Structures are given as C-alpha cells and as structure tokens.
Amino acid sequence: MDGGREVGALLWDSEALLALLLNVIVTLFVFALIARISLSQPGLALLAFFFLIYFSWRLVSVFYIDVFGPVVSEQLERSIGPGLAAVPLGACQVAVLLMLVVSFHPLRLKALAVASDFRTSSLLAAGRLDLFNLVFWVVVVFEVALWIEMLTRGPVPLFSKLERLDYSKQYGGFLHGRLMDWGPMLAFQLGLFFATPVLRGMRFDCRFGALFGSLMVYLLFVGHRFSSFFLYFSFFIMPLGSIVLGRSKAAGFDSSAFFRTLRALWLPVVGLGVLVLGALIYSYAVVRGAESELLQTKLTQRLLVQQGEMWWMTYERVFLHGDWNTALALFKLFVDPFNPNRNSTMQLLMELGLPVERAHTLFDLGVAYTGGWPEIFFELGGPVDGFVLVVLSAVMFSEFLFLLTRCVVQERYATCFFLTPILYAVEVNLASGMLNSFVQLTFMTKLGVAIFVYVLEGRWRARVIASTSLQTDRATVLKREVTP
C-alpha cells in the first residue's frame, strides 16, 4: 500500500515537474524572441510596443496561474490552475511575432526605403507648414474646450475620489465622450505630426508632444489609470517606429541620430511614468480606500490573475475538456449578442465562464473582463482549427502594420487619417478579439473610404513624381545644351 502511494507521488511529482519545465521553456522562448526583435529591429519594438507589453503581461499572468495554482480569481469567483495554459498561449504569441519578422523583413524594408525616397512634401512646403499649423490649432481648440468642459460641469474625479466610469456616466460632456471614443486615434495623429519632420532632416515638432502631454494630464484629472496611459502612449509612438523601420535601409537616414534625439526627451518620458504610477497608487489607495493588505490582494488580482484568467478558462474548456461549439459561438458573436454595440467576444466568454445572470448584470454596468484574443478563435475552431485562425489574424495584423508604415514614411497624411479607425479596430481585435466590429456597416464604410483615399492619394503622388521627373529631365537637357 505504501509502495503504491510512493509510486503515485513520484508520478505526480514527475508530471508536475514536466509541466513546470514546459511552461518555463515556452515562456522564456517568447521573452527571448521579444528581446531579439527589440534589439535587432527597435523600430518594430516601437511600432508593436502595445502588443509586446500586453503579450508579456498576459503570458506572465497565465504562467503564474499554471505554476502557483490553484489561485483564487475574484472576478470568476472560483479557483483556477495549475496547468499548461501558457504553452498554447505562447505558441499563439510566437505566431504573431514571427509574422511581424516576416512582414518587416530587411529586403522589404529596403524596397520600401527606395520607393519612399521621393518627398512630395518637399514640393509643397507652404502647404505642409499650413497643414501642421492647422492640425496644431484645431487640437489646441479641442483640448482647451475639453478642459473648460471638465472644470465647469461638476466635480473633478482626481480630487473628489470619483471613479472614471462613474464620471463619464454622470458628468462627462460631449467632448469628453468623443475623447473616450477616439482618444487613442488622436494620440496616433499627434505622434504622426510629432515625428514626421524627421523624414526631412528636421527636429521633432514638440508642439504635438506638448499636446499629447496635456491629454495625459487630463486623463489623470478624470480618474484614469494605467490602461489608458499605456494605450495612448502606445499609439503615440507608433509613427516613430514606422519611421525607423521605413527609413532604416535608406542611405541618408541616420537611425543612431534619431534615437539620440529620442533619448534627449527622457525627462518628459520619466514624468509620464511617474504620472502613471501615481495614478495607479492613487486609484487603489485613495479612490478605492484600500488598506495595505487589501491593496496587495487587489494588485495581485489585477497584475497576475485578471490578465490571464479568461484564457485559462478557454484552455480548461477547449484543451482539457474538448468542449467548444462553433455554431453557438458564431450565433452569439454575430447574430444575437447581449449588446451588439459592444465587444461580443467578451460577452460570449463571460457567459461561458460565469453564471449567465451575473454576466448580464456586469454587461449592464459596462464591465468587461480582460482578454478575447486568442480565446475566441479556439472557441470557434477548437485546438487545431483555432490555431489556424490565430495565424490568419497574425498575417492580417502584421501586413496592416506594414501598410501603415508605408503610408507614414511616404507622408500620406490623408490616408493615415482615414486608416486610423481601421488601425484601432485591428489593434482592439488582437487584444480583445472584437470580431463583431469587422461586420458592422460603419466599419465597412470606413474601410471603403480608406481604400478610396489610399488609391486617390497614390495616383496623385504618382502624377507629382512623374511631373517632377519630366521637369528634371528637361532641365538636365537644357543645361547640357547651354553648357559649352
């Protein structure tokens, strides 16, 4: 009897050790790949900054649940872990990272640099300056009106200990609502106009950096925390990454000088970091009035459990129990979601992981848990076909980022403007799996307009290039005829 127990304990220890080893290997491999990409292609690290951090955070959370489980999930009201959930999640993340490497291969970047050598803006200097000034003053007016609206409509959340969601519902005005809807896209445009002067050998346009800083302070005053600062900052630096990638193979572009200029901005960056940290501590310690022990529990849940709990539920349901229903998932995603105006993916996952009545109560309150990608693809296709869907989403994501990079380095400002809503939808999909946004009429309209503007601006650019080349050829011939 004792011998059987010893054998069982030995087998259990062996299985636990093997699971730990697999989790460690996969997790370290993903982090090594991220580090390799960041060191070899820093521009790609800037462009995909949001996902590199988000992927790392989710993987650490799932690893924590796998290795230290069972752990209590406050949101799910049950214990989760241990297991091997980090292995399939890591495989999905590797697929995205490898696709980014393929899309931004040095040969493609070299071809892009050659195709982007011609600067249409150099022929339209006055227009370019007018465009930058026009955008600057439009945003200045918007931000001034935004601050006036906030200061005149009611209590300031920072000083009244009011949650950001409660403020938006009870006191947020029209401009505040537009910022909540379009804020990350505005941050991208500010980053675009901040960075593109570098393409012409000029310095960053720090006016747009100041406007971005003003937005960050506003978010602090209206009670926002880490997630909003992180999201806005990630969108702001995306054009910087596009410029480094698109011009890294160009003969006249000094990437080291570019990064030296970036390092000169360390003080505002540090200030932003202190702002985010202070907002996070203030939110839990003051706004929510958490005591030290409760604060530690809340931070553990927020940092190490909530990021990975929904993926662990999908892993348990699909990989361990073989329980997925493609027809039900499609129906709840696209035909009969609880709220078709919000992310139907998370609604489905929460209905599967929680009592339906509780999930619906949370939906009514506007609460959505973290996750959605790659969970939804495995809920649709199971362990095998789900991974195929993950790879397809990785291809779409990486190729779209390459298209965006092309438009940035060629200074296609109109196309970049109309691509921004598409960018937001693509980014949200890779974070939360929001597939229903792609079948909405508004998205189709935005996509159609973006394609039309891309083609129109491309034809205009081609005509300008052809006209300039013809004038250059004529000038060369005339010079040869005049020169004795």
Q: Residue 468: which pLDDT band, with cuts at 50, 70 and 90?
A: low
Question: What pLDDT is recorded for position 172?
Answer: 87
Q: What is the chain's percent helix, strand, coil content, to nearest 5? A: 80, 0, 20
For residue 10, the model assigns a pLDDT of 44
pLDDT at 449 over 80: yes
- Write down the pLDDT at residue 8: 47
Give the span between the Cα atoms of 299 and 161, in whole angstroms: 19
Query: What pLDDT is attached to residue 7?
Result: 43
pLDDT digits (tens, 9 = 90+) for 160-214: 778 787 888 888 899 999 999 999 999 999 999 999 998 887 889 999 999 999 9
What pLDDT does residue 392 have? 96
pLDDT in tens, 332-384: 999 999 998 899 999 999 999 999 999 999 998 888 899 999 999 999 999 99
Q: Does residue 134 contact residue 73 with C-beta atoms inside 8 Å?
A: no
Single out the residue of 210, 287, 289, 204 nearest to residue 243, CA to CA. Answer: 204
Residue 239: cis peptide before it, omega within 30 degrees of 0: no
pLDDT of residue 478: 45
Per the omega criterion (within 30 degrees of 0), is the bond before 421 cis? no
Helix (H, G, I), strand (E, B) or coil at 295: helix
Count other C-beta atoms under 10 Å from residue 383's C-beta: 13
**Helices of type H across 248-291:** 255-263, 266-282
Between CA 91 and CA 434 the distance in angstroms is: 21
On whether the CB atoms of residues 172 and 180 are closer than 8 A, the answer is yes
d(CA 436, CA 439): 6
> In 3D, which of 174, 152, 24 has the Cα closest to residue 87?
24
Which uninterrupted H or E stretch holds 312? Answer: helix 309-314
Rounded average pLDDT over 282-303: 68
> How is residue 437 annotated by DSSP?
G
What is the secondary structure of 63-109 as a DSSP string?
Answer: HHHHHH-SEEETTTTEEE--SSTHHHHHHHHHHHHHHHHHHT-HHHH
Which among 150-164, 407-421, 470-484 has the top mean pLDDT? 407-421
Q: Give me the residue label for tokens 């940092």.
A: 303
Both tokens of 107, joined, read: 């040969």
The 8-class DSSP code of residue 366 comes to: T
Share of the chain above pLDDT 90, in %: 61
Rounded-to-integer distance, Cα 246 and Cα 38, Å:
16
